[in-house]
Amino acid sequence: MPEEIKYPITQDDCPNCHSKERLGQRAIKELQEEGKLSKGLYPDGLMMQIPLIDSKRITALFSPTVKVPIIIVYWDVCKECRTMYCTKFDLQVQDVPVELKNMPKQGPPKFSPS
């Protein structure tokens, strides 16, 4: 049986040159200090979320939410050697709202006289 992985997994320094200086982290801090970005946003840096949706497994058809596993990858670029690397990898299950589209309203069928 494979070893259980504990999430989140973090990388504090560049895997290439071991520098702890990050370009994205630095840019976010500068924008916050200049008042161009609210403080507290992006505490873990730049990120992308990848929802893992399997339409064959969505069973809560009439539920307002569906539990969806989401991979969250935080990344940055090393200031010293410009290596792009993952700083934090997380796997979460989040409740995602289900939007039911309104069916188009149709009146009674129209008959044309012959």
Q: Whose structure tokens read 């309203």?
A: 105
Instruction: Supply the pLDDT for residue 27.
Output: 96
Whether 109 shows a pLDDT value over 80: the answer reads no
Whether 74 shows a pLDDT value over 50: the answer reads yes
- 3-class DSSP state for residue 93? strand
CA atoms of 44 and 11, how far apart (whole Å) = 12
Mean pLDDT (the chain) is: 85
Is the overall model pTM greater than 0.75, yes or no?
A: no
Instruction: Supply the pLDDT for residue 96.
Output: 78
Instruction: Supply the pLDDT for residue 90.
Output: 96
Alpha helices in the chain (DSSP H): 23-33
Once rounded to an integer, what is the mean pLDDT over residues 85-97? 92
From residue 111, alpha-carbon distances to 25, 33, 104, 107, 108 in Å are 66, 68, 20, 12, 9
Instruction: Supply the pLDDT for residue 103.
Output: 47
Going by pLDDT thresholds of 50, 70 and 90, the confidence category of residue 56 is confident
Once rounded to an integer, what is the mean pLDDT over residues 52-63? 68
pLDDT tens for 25-54 read 999 999 999 999 999 899 888 999 998 887
